[in-house]
Amino acid sequence: MKERLQKIIAARGVASRRAAEGMISAGRVTVDGVVAALGDSADPEIQRVEIDGVMLPEAREYVYIAMYKPRGVVTTRKDEQGRRTVLDILPPEVRHTVPAGRLDLSSEGLLILSNDGDAIYALTHPSAEVEKTYIAWCRAEDGGTIEGALAALRRPMVIEGQTLCPAKAREISPGVLLITVHEGKNRQIRNMCRQAGLHVTRLKRSAEGGISLGELRPGQWRYLTDTETQYILSLKERAGPERRT
């Protein structure tokens, strides 16, 4: 059955759908020896699909895992500065997975990884509006108060020229906030707290959509449960086979 090339490449675990589109646009993908164009389809069962002259790998079994990323570890497959990466933590049998989104170097908590490019796409695309929940240890600055900061976080904020939706925010213990957002911008929680008059001393992501950190400790990982996997598959179904960025 024919499918869009970017979907085929993502499904084989070679790259995310967005990265696959870049490969196609750059002329790196061929179908039966003919350079493909963005929007082309193919049937990988009967046609020869290659990237840079190399055949696509065979379809693989999908893996979905959750890990507790410790502080001081970078969310990338390789690091030019030689720092420890999340893949360094994982055993060889799951190092072919890709992180869905990022946590910055000084943040910790839940990170979802998979070799399913469509799952990564569905989890991270803004249209999915997957809620992300964080625990933030904070202190008020410049004469502000936690109460005032909570009120600010619950209103729309403009950060770096972009308007962010109001966060769900409450204090769960003195100086510790539970904050839920769905945009997932780079350093979003830290920037929102700074604008609200708070300094974040520690930040942990505890949940992402229907998946929670649970009992994992820093550096530990686990396969997703059947219920969590079904949640991922429902996101893929909702995204649809032809949705594009």
Read off the tokens for 94. Answer: 């799951």
In the chain, what are the domain boundaries? Answer: 3-55, 64-127+210-239, 131-208
Domains 3-55 and 131-208 are alike in CATH topology? no
Tokens of 204: 């942990």
- Classified by CATH at the fold level, domain 3-55 comes out as 3.10.290
**How far is residue 32 from each of residues 25, 38, 43, 46, measured CA to CA in Å?**
17, 16, 11, 10
Domain spanning 64-127+210-239: which CATH class is it, in words? Answer: alpha beta
Cα torsion 141, 145, 148, 152: sign: positive
Tokens of 210: 């229907």
79: Cα separation from own chain's centroid = 18
Q: Does domain 131-208 have CATH number 1.10.15.40?
A: no
pTM of the predicted model, to two decimals?
0.75
At residue 153's C-alpha, the angle toward residues 172 and 155, to 5°, is: 135
pLDDT in tens, 182-219: 887 889 999 999 999 999 999 999 999 999 999 999 99
Which runs of E-coded beta strand occur in the chain? Answer: 3-4, 29-31, 34-35, 41-42, 49-51, 54-55, 64-69, 98-99, 108-114, 132-140, 157-159, 162-164, 168-173, 176-181, 198-208, 211-212, 221-223
Phi, psi of 57 (to 5 degrees): -65, 160
Q: Cα separation of 97 and 9, whole Å?
A: 15
CA 166 to CA 181: how far, in whole Å? 8
The per-residue pLDDT string of the chain (245 residues; one tens digit each, 9 = 90 and over) reads 888 999 888 777 677 778 889 999 999 999 999 999 999 999 998 999 999 999 988 766 889 999 999 999 999 888 889 899 999 999 999 998 999 988 999 999 999 999 888 888 888 888 888 999 999 999 998 888 999 999 999 999 999 888 999 999 999 999 999 999 988 788 999 999 999 999 999 999 999 999 999 999 999 999 999 999 999 988 887 776 444 43
Q: Which residues are catalytic?
A: 104
